[in-house]
């Protein structure tokens, strides 16, 4: 594939995104299901620990370039925190009296916040004085949005191609096999024969099935890398 062909595919990628036919109720149900499945005790503690100090905003280049409060990193996890407080919090019965259910409209609004306006760089994790892993919460939000058909159109188009054709930008196992074979034969570079044979055998298999949209978006979205552990008090010492 030439550079011009690749650029053309990029420009027309959005047009190939499948149409979302789910009802609003089903979209909300799927988003909540993913959030509840992914919420563990560590993430719950993070959501409970946040004191809304705003220090994470100073670490986010999207906020720093706009000074728009909606780009504050912890705000991007608002939908996840809302579901947690209504469904899993120790005071969830009380919270349900005051917190409304998330809506399909909010899911669409969070597409920009969770995908377009976050690179999962992890700077907010490092800045947080409470040691909260905000990037993990945003990653869970991304998966939930993907399950609800609220991922960016470009990602949905790539996921659709991977699931239905087993290719990415038209390149699949056949093209990769050909490239590896040519490198092995004429590049002069030494390859481990066992590794090459194993890779060729793998490429000769049928592409794995992606069971649902959440899994597809998870493959396409950046993988969060926790960059900091929970900070211990300054007076802490082993054995104290």
pLDDT tens readout for residues 160-215: 888 888 888 778 888 877 877 777 776 666 666 676 667 666 666 544 444 444 44
Sole residue written with tokens 């959501």: 47
Instruction: Tell me the percentage of the chain whose pLDDT exceeds 70.
Output: 77
Q: List, for residues 46-65, the tens digit of each pLDDT value.
A: 999 999 999 999 999 999 99
Higher pLDDT, 71 or 205: 71
Q: For position 9, what pLDDT does the model report?
A: 74
Contact 210, 219 (CB under 8 A): yes
Q: Where are the domains of the chain?
A: 20-155+211-220
Q: Is 145 exposed, middle or buried (0-12, 13-18, 19+ CB in 10 A)?
A: buried
- Decide if pLDDT at 70 tops 70: yes
At 167 the pLDDT is 83
The pLDDT of residue 182 = 76
pTM, entire model = 0.73
Assess whether pLDDT exceeds 90 at residue 107.
yes
Can you tell me the distance from the alpha carbon of 80 to that of 89, in angstroms, rounded to the nearest whole number? 12
DSSP per-residue string spanning the chain? --HHHHHHHHHTGGGGSPPP---HHHHHHHHHHHHHHH--HHHHHHHHH-----GGGGG-HHHHHH--GGG-GGGGGHHHHHHHHHHTSTTHHHHHHHPPPP-HHHHHHHHIIIIIT-----HHHHH-TT---HHHHHHHHHHHHHHTT-S-HHHHHHHHHHHHHS-BTTB-HHHHHHHHHHHHHHS-----HHHHHHHHHHHTSPPPP--SHHHHHHHHSPPP-----PPPPTT--TT-
| Stronger pLDDT, 81 or 190, i.e. the higher one | 81
Mean pLDDT, the chain, integer: 81
Average pLDDT of span 120-136:
94
Q: What is the pLDDT at residue 132?
A: 94
Q: Which CATH number fits domain 20-155+211-220: 1.10.3720, 1.10.1060, 1.10.20, 1.10.3470?
A: 1.10.1060
What proportion of the chain, given as a percentage, has pLDDT over 90? Answer: 56
217-239: average pLDDT: 41
Q: What average pLDDT does the segment 77-92 reach?
A: 95
Q: Are 74 and 136 in contact (CB under 8 A)?
A: no
């Amino acid at each position: 594939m030439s550079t011009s062909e690749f650029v053309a595919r990029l420009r027309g990628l959005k047009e190939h995104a499948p149409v979302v036919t789910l009802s609003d109720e089903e979209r909300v149900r799927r988003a909540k299901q993913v959030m509840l499945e992914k919420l563990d005790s560590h993430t719950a503690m993070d959501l409970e620990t946040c004191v809304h100090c705003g220090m994470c905003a100073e670490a986010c280049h999207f906020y720093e370039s706009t000074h728009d409060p909606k780009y504050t990193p912890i705000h991007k996890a608002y939908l996840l925190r809302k579901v947690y407080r209504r469904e899993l919090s120790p005071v969830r019965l009380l919270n349900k009296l005051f917190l409304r259910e998330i809506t399909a409209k909010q899911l669409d609004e969070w597409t920009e916040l969770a995908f377009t306006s976050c690179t999962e760089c992890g700077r907010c994790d490092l800045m947080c004085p409470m040691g909260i892993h905000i990037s993990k919460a945003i990653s869970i939000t991304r998966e939930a949005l993907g399950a609800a058909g609220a991922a960016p159109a470009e990602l949905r188009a790539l996921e659709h191609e991977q699931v239905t054709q087993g290719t990415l930008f038209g390149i699949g196992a056949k093209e990769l096999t050909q490239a590896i074979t040519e490198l092995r034969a004429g590049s002069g570079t030494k390859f481990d024969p066992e590794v090459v044979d194993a890779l060729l055998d793998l490429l000769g298999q049928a592409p794995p099935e992606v069971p649902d949209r959440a899994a597809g978006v998870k493959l396409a979205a950046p993988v969060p890398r926790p960059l900091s552990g929970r900070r211990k008090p300054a007076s802490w010492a082993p054995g104290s």
